[in-house]
Structure 1
Amino acid sequence: MYLATPIQLERLTRAEAAAYLGINSQTLANWAHTGKVAIPHHKVGRKVIYMKADLDCYLASTRRTQTA
């Protein structure tokens, strides 16, 4: 059975998530609106919540290694 650690369950606001990714919060909002980049998020009323684990998965999926 898989148990998530508290760090993986960490919830971030859109502004916090954008800062974590190193982008502008409006860019993150545009990605969510257009579907250009699919990062899972939750909408609670007007508030948007991102899970840190989802952001880490996104970063891992975009990781590039240099080849010789």
Structure 2
Amino acid sequence: MDESHRYSNILIHPTLHSFHAKLYLIKLHQLRKRMDNYHITASIKDEIALALGYDPKKPPVQVDDRDAANVLGVKTSTLAVWRSTGRYDLPYMKVGRLIRYRVSDLADFLAKFTTTKTA
């Protein structure tokens, strides 16, 4: 540790150029952020399953537009407007006249709007 430098609690060998060290730290930060998002999305999936009355260990793969609207706290007509205008990037499946939303897509959508800071 005598020849190493500390950058954000990570030991980096002194021969590593500072540009590469910064690039490494940026990549590490991005990886940590993706892992945090994964955990947030997983907990949101569990909350969705519970809100719809399912076991979180065996959540449904997809739900209809009424359940999706219930999860998001909007009306089904609002989801119809979002689908027709493309206002939000919320993926859905349409089979005939039936609309289905993947629970994982709903969780990803909610995770994008989840924040821990107000500033």
TM range (shorter): 0.7 to 0.9
4+ long deviations beyond 3 Å: none
* Structure 2 counterpart of 1:65: 116
User: TM-score, normalized by length of structure 2?
Assistant: 0.48
**Higher share in helix:** 2
Could you say what the CA RMSD is over the residues aligned between the two structures, in angstroms?
1.7
User: 2 CA distance for matches of 1:60 and 1:27?
Assistant: 19
Q: Unpaired segments of 5 or more residues in structure 2?
A: 1-56
User: TM-score, normalized by length of structure 1?
Assistant: 0.81
For residue 47 of structure 1, report the CA deviation from its aligned partner: 0.5
What percentage of residue pairs aligned between the two structures are identical? 37
- How many residue pairs get matched? 63
Q: Unpaired segments of 5 or more residues in structure 1?
A: none
For residue 12 of structure 1, report the CA deviation from its aligned partner: 0.6
Larger Rg: 2
Identify the match of residue 54 of structure 1 among 105, 112, 115: 105
Partner SS, residue 38 of structure 1 = coil
For residue 65 of structure 1, report the CA deviation from its aligned partner: 2.1
Higher relative contact order (CA 8 A, sep 6+): 1
* Structure 2 counterpart of 1:25: 76
